Amino acid sequence: MIVNLAHRILSNEFAYDAFQTCVGSYKFRRRFLESIKINSDSKILELGCGTGITLETIQNNDYVGIDLSQKYLDKAKQRKESSILVKGDVSIADTYETLSTTKNDVVLALALWHHLDDEQMIRTLENVHRISEKGISIFSLDPFVDKKTGVSAKWVAENDRGKFLRSSAHIKEISEASGFEFSFEISRRELYIPTNVIKCVLKKV
């Protein structure tokens, strides 16, 4: 009951931002983004962009964000007026009707995959593959559980709003079936709460 209440509260854009800040998620994302080679002329396409907190780190790049929540998108627009924001489902082809990317651009999926079931994730990757040039990469972050995961970190991951935790082997299988090379790294204890995160790079081949 308490977990369900927390999930409802986090649907509010202000509560969501406050929570992510308090647990250190936004600082972790900033470090992750700074580790990626993003050229000044690269366009950013963010799948499941939420409130657009990514814009705090990449203000100088052209930005396109996709999300289902209009409230989240309205908050993202406040961060950068010139950003292009699309209300839609990342797994539906029509959402990408006017979008395209070059190999110089960057696609982000930060804490997205665990909100999608396998079919939705496959369709999302197929959509990105269709609109992208060869060589483009998708950079993703998601909660992760393995044999080394502690009890607390496992509880946090399993009680997230996203219910589709995957092993690295599972993500690799889906990625390669959708036309992407897959590499990953596991991060542990980088947030203020017990959490393991899988950092993935999916490169179109």
How far apart CA 145 and CA 153 sit, in angstroms, is 8
Q: Can you name the residues that pair with 67 across neighbouring β-strands?
A: 87
Ramachandran angles phi, psi of 2, nearest 5° = -65, -40
Structure confidence by residue, pLDDT tens digits, 137-150:
999 999 999 999 99
CB 55 within 8 A of CB 73: no
How far apart CA 146 and CA 127 sit, in angstroms, is 29
Q: What angle do CA 188, 159, 178 make, to 5 degrees?
A: 70
pLDDT value at 40 more than 80: yes
pLDDT value at 129 more than 70: yes
pLDDT value at 9 more than 80: no
Number of domains observed in the structure of the chain: 1
Q: What CATH number should be reported for the domain holding residue 116?
A: 3.40.50.150
pLDDT at position 6: 56
The shares of helix, strand and coil residues in the chain, as percent rounded to the nearest 5, are 40, 20, 40
Share of the chain above pLDDT 90, in %: 73
pLDDT value at 87 more than 90: yes
Domain encompassing residue 59: 2-204
Share of the chain above pLDDT 70, in %: 95
Which amino acid makes up residue 27?
K
How far apart CA 116 and CA 160 sit, in angstroms, is 13
DSSP 203: E
pLDDT at position 113: 98
